[in-house]
Structure 1
Amino acid sequence: MKLNFKNSIFFLGIIGLFSSFEGHQNLDKKIIIENKLGFDRIGEIVSIDLKKSKAFSSLKNYDDVLVKNEKGELLVTQLLDNDLDGTPDELLFQAAVPALSKVIYTVFIDAKEALKRPTAALTTYARFVPERIDDFAWENDKVAFRTYGPEAQRLVDERKEGGTLSSGIDIWLKKVNYSIIDSWYTKNVTAAGYYHIDHGEGYDPYHVGYSRGTGGTGIWEKDSLYTSKNFQKYKVIAKGPLRTVFELEYPAWSKYGVKEVKRISLDLGSNFSKFENKISSVSKIPNYTLGITLHQEKGKVSIDAKKGVFRHWEPMDDSYVGEGIVMDPKTVKKAFDYHSKAVDQSQILIVTEPKNSTLVYYAGFVWLKSGQVNSVEEWDALLEKQAQLVQSPLSVEIH
């Protein structure tokens, strides 16, 4: 068959039209979120699995995806690429769901609405800190943490000044909801010890030493706790307005040849870092133990292994700090407060049996001067609430 010039132009136009339709992204889905607990869940982070949901399978540019609430208000969102393959795996946003209720959100694409995308007033954050030897620090609007790297270990091993030998988790006490990590470290360069003094934003009075700090790990055997040295490698997975995710890798330690890769995440609005620790070993380990330091044993301890809630409340300078760990009680073998005359060895110890060589737990704290709680009873209530959140996550359906 012969095609004249006009027909050829028309035919090519039809092909181009269909091509433009194929390139256009179309998405408009309802996200039904259910809260099955008896208290309101305000500002909780919701995760949409982009790879498991068919609604997102045809998308090519996830940056255009928006989320709005029932009032039509656009929400701050964050995309997570958990395996760093260049394609997002999760879409995050904050939900507000009353007790025992369902709320509908909408996920959609609209080029004009995308221009109105809101910017985040607050954020989460994490980074490697070479200017303080090689700390790794992370924070959100409520809390901040840090731990120590290979250079700090090398200095101790070689008996040089300035090093820190510890795989414990340090905590930084904040009064403010904005990021302080960069500021405190920068000022510490010119005024050594800057962040150990409260200049109005908070400070770091917390001693870790050889203890587990708040949420460090080890192996409990024959009345002794064996622990790793400092992390040797790190990998930042994500840092953004709603969630920070990173990994710390620890080389083989103990006679069992234990290796740990700790994937740690921190959500906006939470007092608790989530730890997902993958454990491997040359030979079977007897247990995997978590700890919270008791410092000078002047605090109050509460252990509830049946609920998986472990609390310490201690005086610190002219105020109080509450530390805690929350986890699935099915993984707990036993827990107790261990008292020792050895430096940094009095601790709450939680002896666990990980499932599939992975242990998940939440470690966090609160400072009385932050205004987040006003008493140990309120800290207990916050720990109890966290335990319920872990056991009963928000139900998410896409329609």
Structure 2
Amino acid sequence: MKKILILVAAVLMGVASCADSKQAMTVTVTNPLALERTGEMVEVPMSDVVAKLKLADTAQIVVLDADGQQVPYQVTYDEKVIFPATVKANGTATYTIQPGAPEAFNVIACGKYYPERLDDLAWENDLVGFRAYGPALQARNERGFGYDLFTKYNTTEPILEALYAEELNPEKRAKIAELKKTDPKAAAELQRAISYHVDHGYGMDCYAVGPTLGCGTSALMEGDTIVYPYCYRTQEILDNGPLRFTVKLEFNPLVVRGDSGVVETRVISLDAGSYLNKAVISYTNLKETMPVATGLVLREPDGVTMADAANGYITYVDPTTDRSGGNGKIFVGAAFPAQVKDAKVVLFQEKEKKERGGADGHVLAVSEYEPGSEYTYYWGSAWDKAAIKTAEAWNEYMSQYAQKVRTPLTVAY
């Protein structure tokens, strides 16, 4: 009898195992390029996962790699399951999605709105940080048109909230104001101790934006004239980690070629493990096709640049705010999934140079924007005090990134 009971139990376990296996969704990721893809984010519609696994509304899922180990994932605001995949050159990799209790994942990509710092919107991942300027800055007539960036090294954890907390610490700021009256040297030392413009071992803000396109902002063009966007009007954080940060920014109306009330909307997302953000741009109330340019501000007329329209990327080696080299070099760039009409260096005439806060020009990638469409590109930065040390290494990264966004991973299940 005991043997029979054991046999019955084994059969029941086998049946249960078969039932569980039917609730597994196999995801095959294929890499069509002769480049290894490491940690690249894969997207699967949550609706397909629910339908395939016949999930209840409250059911949890896990994502497993080929070894059965859990892989971090996130369900995004637009109802996609995203997870990092690693696929060999011209290879495939298999992942499994099934019901289960997910492990706790570290938050890698995240951001925050800072009304206390003139409406900054700042975000980061394990490699880099960025910010867009808001309406309070514009109300003060400070001309910060483009994206700013924060360098980052020696950590993969979020640092921006701590940097802002120190920079804006009200007690320390009050102390600085007091010391300026009695001990300017001590005031300067305390200011330096709390400033995010100083590297305290994890990174800093040492990038100059001013009234330019900064680190990869896009703008419409009337002939050869850039129609500069100002600060965002409204912001809405859509995703806040652990693997993707997404924000929607809407801008004040512009008058473009006589079209009044042209409103720009940007959806910007940053994934874990990437130096580049994805930007999806659209313009409402625009009546005709116009050039749209993505730009990198130049702080040297003869700086190290790359403008490769055919292969879809532009780069620049920025000298940072410390021209002596104490802050190293910042690599900035943009990559384009669609064909670029033109890529070039455009230097300012002396009058415009003064209007642009002393900047020397831009590296521009110019495309065409059709009313009602979306303009998608990728932009970002790296720092030579972190992993990417040379312009050659940065250009290789950007060249490969452009190849990847033009030849994405394919997903089947």
Q: In the aligned structure 2, how far is the partner of 1:71 from the partner of 1:77?
A: 16
* Closer, same or farther: CA 308–378 of 1 in aligned 2, 3 Å: same
- 1:358 and 2:374 matched: yes
Q: Which residue, out of 161, 164, 173, partners 1:185?
A: 164
- 1:90 and 2:91 matched: no
Give yes or no for contact 2:43–2:80 (8 Å, CA) kept in 1: yes
Q: In the aligned structure 2, how far is the partner of 1:150 from the partner of 1:61?
A: 40
Tell me which amino acid in the other structure corresponds to 1:103. Answer: A
| Structure 2 runs not aligned, ≥5 long | 1-19, 174-190
Give yes or no for contact 1:298–1:314 (8 Å, CA) kept in 2: no
Once the two structures are TM-superposed, the CA of residue 54 in structure 1 deviates from its matched residue by: 7.3
- 1:260 and 2:256 matched: no
Query: Which residue of the partner structure matches residue 161 of structure 1?
Result: none
How many residue pairs align between the two structures? 355
Query: Which residue of the partner structure matches residue 204 of structure 2?
Result: 203
Query: Which residue of the partner structure matches residue 99 of structure 2?
Result: 109
Q: In the aligned structure 1, how far is the partner of 2:308 from the partner of 2:239?
A: 33
C-alpha deviations, 1:115-135, integer Å up to 9, x for none? Answer: xx3322451011111121200
* Closer, same or farther: CA 96–286 of 1 in aligned 2, 3 Å: closer
Q: Which residue, out of 135, 142, 149, partners 2:120?
A: 135
Q: Which residue, out of 15, 27, 35, partners 1:39?
A: 35
Which stretch of the first structure deviates more once superposed, 358-367 or 99-108? 99-108
Query: Which residue of the partner structure matches residue 368 of structure 1?
Result: 384
1:1-399 alignment, distance < 5 Å:
27-51=23-47, 55-56=51-52, 58-61=54-57, 64-82=60-78, 89-110=79-100, 114=101, 117-156=102-141, 164-175=142-153, 176-190=155-169, 194-255=195-256, 256-257=259-260, 258-284=262-288, 286-316=290-320, 317=322, 318=325, 319-330=328-339, 332-340=340-348, 341=350, 342-343=353-354, 344=356, 346-354=361-369, 356-370=372-386, 372-398=387-413
Give yes or no for contact 1:305–1:334 (8 Å, CA) kept in 2: yes
Q: What SS does the corresponding residue of 1:287 show, helix, strand or coil?
A: strand
Q: In the aligned structure 2, how far is the partner of 1:392 from the partner of 1:123?
A: 26
Q: In the aligned structure 2, how far is the partner of 1:93 from the partner of 1:47?
A: 7
> What's the TM-score, normalizing by structure 2?
0.81
Q: In the aligned structure 1, how far is the partner of 2:166 from the partner of 2:27?
A: 45
RMSD: 2.1
Q: In the aligned structure 2, how far is the partner of 1:265 from the partner of 1:387?
A: 17
Q: In the aligned structure 2, how far is the partner of 1:182 from the partner of 1:217?
A: 27
C-alpha deviations, 1:343-398, integer Å up to 9, x for none? Answer: 4351112221135421000001111001x212111001100110111011111111
Give yes or no for contact 2:25–2:49 (8 Å, CA) kept in 1: no
Give yes or no for contact 1:228–1:254 (8 Å, CA) kept in 2: no
Q: In the aligned structure 2, how far is the partner of 1:359 from the partner of 1:106?
A: 33
* Closer, same or farther: CA 150–37 of 1 in aligned 2, 3 Å: same
Percent of pairs identical after alignment? Answer: 28
Q: In the aligned structure 1, how far is the partner of 2:200 from the partner of 2:137?
A: 26
Give yes or no for contact 1:306–1:329 (8 Å, CA) kept in 2: no
Once the two structures are TM-superposed, the CA of residue 81 in structure 1 deviates from its matched residue by: 2.3
Give yes or no for contact 1:338–1:348 (8 Å, CA) kept in 2: yes
> What's the TM-score, normalizing by structure 1?
0.84
| Structure 1 runs not aligned, ≥5 long | 1-23, 83-88, 157-163
C-alpha deviations, 1:317-360, integer Å up to 9, x for none? Answer: 32111111100342x22222111121435111222113542100
Tell me which amino acid in the other structure corresponds to 2:91. Answer: S
Q: In the aligned structure 1, how far is the partner of 2:294 from the partner of 2:92?
A: 36
Which stretch of the first structure deviates more once superposed, 171-180 or 262-271? 171-180
Give yes or no for contact 1:195–1:204 (8 Å, CA) kept in 2: yes
Once the two structures are TM-superposed, the CA of residue 285 in structure 1 deviates from its matched residue by: 5.1
Give yes or no for contact 1:227–1:254 (8 Å, CA) kept in 2: no
Give yes or no for contact 1:280–1:357 (8 Å, CA) kept in 2: no
Tell me which amino acid in the other structure corresponds to 1:338. Answer: V
Give yes or no for contact 2:338–2:406 (8 Å, CA) kept in 1: no
Which stretch of the first structure deviates more once superposed, 335-344 or 306-315? 335-344
* Closer, same or farther: CA 167–240 of 1 in aligned 2, 3 Å: same
* Closer, same or farther: CA 360–63 of 1 in aligned 2, 3 Å: farther
* Closer, same or farther: CA 166–25 of 1 in aligned 2, 3 Å: farther
Give yes or no for contact 2:314–2:335 (8 Å, CA) kept in 1: yes
Tell me which amino acid in the other structure corresponds to 1:241. Answer: P
C-alpha deviations, 1:39-94, integer Å up to 9, x for none? Answer: 22121111111235674484333650111111111111111122xxxxxx111111
Give yes or no for contact 2:53–2:98 (8 Å, CA) kept in 1: no
C-alpha deviations, 1:289-316, integer Å up to 9, x for none? Answer: 2111002335211111111111111333
